[in-house]
Structure 1
Amino acid sequence: MLQYVKLFLCLIFLSCKAYAIPLEDSGDAPNLFGLEGLSENNAIGANFIEGDIAVPLQTGRAAYIRSPKWPNGIVPFDIHSLYTNDQKSVIRGAMSEIMKSTNNCIRFVERNSSTPVWLRIFPGQGCWSYMGRVKSRGAQDLSLQATGCVHHSVALHELTHALGFVHEQTRPDRNQYVLIQTENIQSGKEHNFNIFPSTSVSTLNLPYDYGSIMHYRSDAFSSNGRPTIKAIIDTGKDWDSTMGRGKNLSNLDIAKLKAYYSCS
């Protein structure tokens, strides 16, 4: 009898542990931001595409043109209490940039007790978000691991996923602008460089943007330190050393956010 009690308690412990928010983050998993000390992205009840986009298990692969928008561009949110005040300021700063850049057409507002769906920003395992508004009720998670992910650019990137966008280099026309150097990609990470067909994804009739906050770094998921993505259009700028390393929304990022949310 005692052994069954021990087994039961062990199962309870493991179950609780699986859902716990880590107080101390550790790890050094490959990630598209080139950050050190990050754990491998993990979300309960979801798979990942493109490295940091969580997709509910029952829906499979999705494209941002089908990502439900947040009604009227209003995104209720809650920032977890485990973050320090400085970390909360970084997250709010990213929200503020999106709001100001769209002339408050997109707004992040504190959730209240009657909010049906909200963005729950918490220090989970890794840096990731769902794409668009995927929940019908309750909290929709966005993870910014406390020791590694809480940077202005990373918060901007994940918030833009939450608003409904995938990565820039997954556009159906991307092969006209970049070369994917598959020989340099880590084994098993090749799927992160797939593209979406034009039947699934809209370019919003706006140009390809090497400087997008949503673009991969040129060495994303590299196995040898060499580039996995190389710009093939001569724009007079060295994009290979700068793509995916921007700190703020680009002008085209802002234009795309406004277009998708029908901002004036």
Structure 2
Amino acid sequence: MHEILHAAGFLHEHTRPDRGTYIQVKWKNIREDARRTTGSTFGHSSLDVPTTTNPLMHYGRYTFSEVSACRASKAMVTRRRPTLVPKLPVAGGLGGSSLTPLDIRRVNTFYKCV
């Protein structure tokens, strides 16, 4: 469904110009080769539809994370660092696996179905 929304003309929610009001991008935790995909797209329109942290077009908390390894007791443990951090507490992770009511509203607004 995520890829179908791309084909329909939608960009990732974390690239909205207003993203700074709801998430913080942890640039130091993002792999160097992935930084361009996390930038804000100021030509991107929010369609005057608010966002949440669980729309289908939002990346997860650890997307494009640098990975660090550390030794925990006798085993080697790999840890990912958060890249997108919500400014307000949220239940669960970022991003979603199905359309939310706001996703549907965004599609309807974009295609003038309402």
| 1:219 aligned residue (48, 62, 69) | 62
The answer on 1:256 being equivalent to 2:106 is yes
Counterpart of 1:171 in structure 2 is 16
Q: Distance in 2 between matches of 1:189 and 1:202?
A: 22
The code of the aligned residue for 1:218 comes to R
- SS of 2:33 mapped into structure 1: coil
Q: Is contact 2:11-2:44 (8 Å) kept?
A: no
Q: Secondary structure at the match of 1:183?
A: helix
Correspondence for 1:247: 97
User: Identity over aligned residues, as a percent?
Assistant: 34
Distance in structure 2 (CA, Å) of the matches to 1:222 and 1:201: 24
Contact 2:13–2:57, Cα closer than 8 Å, also in 1: yes
Partners in 1 of 2:112 and 2:23 — Cα distance?
29
Note the C-alpha offset of 1:183. Answer: 1.3
What is the aligned length? 102
Amino acid at match of 2:37: N
Match of 2:88 in 1: 233
Q: Given the alignment, which residue of 178, 184, 190 partners 2:29?
A: 184
Give the Cα–Cα distance (whole angstroms) in 2 for the partners of residues 209 and 160 of structure 1.
17
Distance in 1 between residues matched to 2:88 and 2:49, nearest whole Å: 16
Offset of residue 257 of structure 1: 0.3
Matches within 5 A, 1:23-42: none
How far residue 175 of structure 1 moved from its aligned partner, in angstroms, is: 1.0
- The structural deviation recorded for 1:171 is 0.4
Corresponding letter in the other structure for 1:260 = F
Supply the distance in 1 between the matched residues of 2:8 and 2:17 (Cα, whole angstroms): 20
Cα drift, residue 202 of structure 1: 1.4
Which is bigger in relative contact order (C-alpha 8 A, separation at least 6)? 2
Gaps of 5+ in 1: 1-155
- Extract structure 1 runs of 4+ deviating beyond 2 A: none
Q: CA deviation at 1:176?
A: 1.3
TM-score (normalised: structure 1): 0.37
1-structure distance, mates of 2:66, 2:45: 31
2: distance between equivalents of 1:247 and 1:173? 23
Please list, as runs of the form range in 1=range in 2, the aligned pairs for 1:70-149 lying within 5 A after superposition: none
Match of 2:75 in 1: none
Q: 2:39 matched to 1:194?
A: yes
Look up the SS of the partner of 1:179 in the other structure: strand
RMSD of equivalent CA atoms: 1.2
Based on CA coordinates, which of the two structures has the bigger radius of gyration? Answer: 1
Give 1:159's aligned residue. Answer: 4
